[in-house]
Structure 1
Amino acid sequence: MTNAEPRAATTIDERWQPYRRPQPAEAHPELVIAAAVPQDERVFVPIEENVWFRPLLLSASSGYWMSVLRVRRAGVLSRHRHPQPVHGYVIKGSWRYLEHDWEAREGGYVYEAPGETHTLVVDPHVEEMITLFQVNGTMIYVDPDGAVTGFDDVFTRIDKCRAHYAACGLGADYVDQFIR
């Protein structure tokens, strides 16, 4: 037994009532995106020829991003290392890493441990690959021997979005809806 007094039973009607107190003033509103894979092609930001990402959440406050990666060609996309974990869910098609013997297929989930370096490949039989990724921290691009050739983080992704949305007519501030 505890010293706490028993709580009054909650009625069924009360369970269906929304929270009545104010939310914290500093809390950002939820971000709800009806179509993660949009109909408007302009929402996809080009990375290179036939490779795009669609931002879902660009967390400047926590240093990660959620995006949909779309690839419409076969080939090597990037060799990179992550100092933080990455999560992926394959929506369409498939992809793999040259360094492993598994293939990420439609409906599959991939967890990438911090510190690993790998080379993302889309094979010739894949017409289109679409994968939801959560990338924490930085993607560090490297050559086959590990020499750094570039990087991406949430801030470079925001910059790429701003430039693309300004150029395609959506407006540079279109990206602001995804920033938290």
Structure 2
Amino acid sequence: MTTELSTKWRPEQVCEQLSIGSSTYYNRLKHLGIEASKDADGPYLNAEQMKLMEDLSEHIKATGKMQGFGGGGQLALSENSGLASELDIPVQPEIPGIDEDEEVRNRLIWEAGELKVQQEATPHLLKLHLAALMTEEELSDEQRAKLQAIREAATPKPNAAASIAQQLLQRHRQNQGKNPETK
């Protein structure tokens, strides 16, 4: 099996090429850690991802199982751009005990989740700390203008309350003059 480098492989094409069903397709994506890219026509795999799927298929034909497939010994990370970069980290084909021990799997997933939380939170925390350290002089002209407008809107004008009170009383007096029962 060979793939063309510019081809976008749609799920139905992959299933047909590898003679597998859709549930097997998704199980294999999960096993390989592949996340399909998407465009206007839906999800697709790029050529490198399809090559991994083909290699895994060959491995399964030879061994009868997905376990033990190392994907060539390197981990490829796919971006939405469809480009992949290789890390020089050898992938251990099997982690002893991971398939049998649910507690080990759950701990591993939990720790990965904690890393994801930290990864997502760090830029926001950094921005909060930077904002706390900044002075008003370090803001752009546009930001200073926004800040001034907010201050003006939040600070009541000295005559605003008196004006509102006067308008309310005037309306009340007008209503009393129109109502014959109040005379």
Give the TM-score normalised by the residue count of structure 2. Answer: 0.20
Structure (1/2) with the larger helix percentage: 2
Structure with greater contact order relative to length (CA < 8 Å, sep ≥ 6): 1
Give the TM-score normalised by the residue count of structure 1. Answer: 0.20
